[in-house]
Amino acid sequence: MDLPVIPVMDIPRVLRYRSGQYRINPFYVHGTVSMENASLIRAPDRARGYMHIAEALREEIHKMNVPIGGRLPSERELTQILKVSRPSLREALIVLELQGEIEIRVGSGIYLKRAAALDDTAQSAPGALDAGLDASVMGHSPKDVSQLRYFLEGGVAAHAARFISREQLKELGATISAMRKALDAKDRSSDQPLADADRQFHVVLSSVCGNRLLTQTLEELFDQRYTPIGGSMHRLFDNHLVWGEAIQEHQDIYDAVADRDPLQAQAAMYRHLNRAHARLMAVIG
């Protein structure tokens, strides 16, 4: 993602309050708030965008006459058919999988599980989510969550490198130790301890800024991994190798912060967030 670097001091201008939530200000352009960019963002509700794409995808699948259990076109082909980006398509695929219509097999492909439901009378598959559920239940777009984290956390890391205390640095190091311990546990049956330690790493960094709103925002962004769409993304693509890479990226951030190097800390955070997003966008098959 090629996004502008936003200093911590600019965060109040980047976020604006609307409908009980803080959202990215679409008029924020490289450090300024400009009305010139207003025409670039037209969608009335960005959080629901992947739901609209999921409905369009459902209709296209219906036209394909693929038999139950049959393999659907590749992600690349589907993005061309729908004229959407791969991250947006990935989110729509997750929605259809959650609703029991398709099965995503990493390394193999996408398979039709049951006939696409094009009306309200269609029955959902056992254990599937109600097809009528909207984005408020599904969770925010993982793509939007990644982008917002990118906006915020580079500045957080740079700030922490300048102002972190010895006690906070010690606490930060402890979160990495906790991640390593959880990854190496022989009886690991869940990624929960890893995810908790990961979350705490970023919360400790943000606490250095002394801005409770910022920390609360980052906590809420992390909790999106437990929504249906966020959880499914991580279930598909998180594994031992992925977590090992992520832990090393956290170590790189820690080392730069410990060296009191704001630029390196910011760069290490950006590398981590870019790679984390890329891992969730791994080719299915």
Angle formed by the axes of helices 240-258 and 142-163, nearest 10°: 30
Instruction: Please give, one letter per residue, the 3-state secondary structure of 131-176.
Output: CCCCHHHHCCCHHHHHHHHHHHHHHHHHHHHHHCCHHHHHHHHHHH
Kindly list the structural domains of the chain, giving each domain's residue range(s) and its CATH number in brackets, ordered by start.
51-138 (1.10.10.10), 139-280 (1.20.120.530)
Stretches where the chain sits below pLDDT 50 are 1-47, 120-129, 131-132
Q: What is the predicted pLDDT for the residue at 131?
A: 47
pTM (two decimals): 0.73
Q: Which phi and psi angles does 222 have, rounded to 5°?
A: -65, -40
Q: How far apart are CA 93 and CA 73, in angstroms?
A: 12
Q: What is the predicted pLDDT for the residue at 118?
A: 57
Contacts 24+ apart (CB under 8 A), 269-272: 269/153, 269/154, 269/156, 269/157, 270/150, 270/154, 272/246
Q: What is the predicted pLDDT for the residue at 176?
A: 98
Give me 63's structure tokens.
């036209």
